[in-house]
Amino acid sequence: MKTKRYVFNPTQPEMKSHCHLYMEYQPKKTAASEVSLFYQFKIDRSSPGTLPIIPDGCLDLLFCFNPSNSFAVIGTSPHHRCSYSFQTDSEYFGVRLLPEQSSFKLKCSSKELIQQQQIPLSDVLHMNDSFLEELAVRPSFEERVMYFNSYLTSQCADVDYERNLITYCLNKIYATEGQINIKDLAGETGYSDRYIRKKFEDYIGFSPKQFSQIVKLQHSVHQLLESDLKLDNIIDEYGFYDKAHFYKGFKKYMELTPEQYRRSIASN
């Protein structure tokens, strides 16, 4: 199964606005892309040590650099907007992995993984113990990105038919901006609804329906914050039945109305 590669650019707007010295680098997307975003930020002593996180369907590798307590965790995508804890007076280097990544082999299923917010990296991934130390001594964000990319290049991607099936379905979801259902995916691939749902939960952690809703949410958040479109235009563009349906779906995941969320970002 082959399909054109569509770009998914998940975002965490409140992470950008609530952090100190935030910077990011988005690598060029190719058919073999594994990373959506590299980013770095600081949590200063006056910070409450929490950041609001929204659903994005991704896994984030988070490396915390602190003179007395450096560590690495995997941050998972929440089902709803919530706050994750971070260590104060620390610098973080983050790598947002796309859902279709296959270079990092997890010790458990993604469904098990997303039941927790942050898990020690060593509990979930096989990674050299010196990796954190090597990242920490890199003096700049750019050099950390280069070091991580060199490590990623050395990994062997896990390619199998099940992974190809998931990648094909993900691309269909990206291409329709979340406006496709599992029956359409089953019809195109020849597999049953149940089989596709099971493989999505194993590899992605979410069902196809849940992940499609996350993609739709991410696109609507992007339009809400990055464009001058009015809400009525966003509602029409993303296939919601009416304003009440859009508001209900948005608030279900974000705990704020679209106007409240737009204002909260603008005020920071």
Q: Count CB neighbours of 221 within 10 A.
A: 25
Express each pLDDT in 214-258 by its tens digit. 998 998 888 888 777 677 776 666 555 567 778 888 889 999 888
Looking at the chain, the whole-number percentage of residues with pLDDT higher than 90 is 45
How does residue 30 score in pLDDT terms, banded at 50, 70 and 90? Answer: low
Express each pLDDT in 145-160 by its tens digit. 999 999 888 876 666 7
Instruction: Name which residue leads in pLDDT, 51 or 6.
Output: 51
Task: Write the CB contacts of 109 (distance below 8 Å, at least 6 apart in sequence).
Answer: 201, 202, 205
In the numeric block, which tokens belong to residue 98? 């796309």
What distance separates the 2 farthest-apart alpha carbons in the chain?
A: 55
* Sign of the Cα pseudo-torsion (161, 118, 94, 222, in order): positive
Mean pLDDT of 57-77: 92
Q: What is the CA radius of gyration of the chain?
A: 19
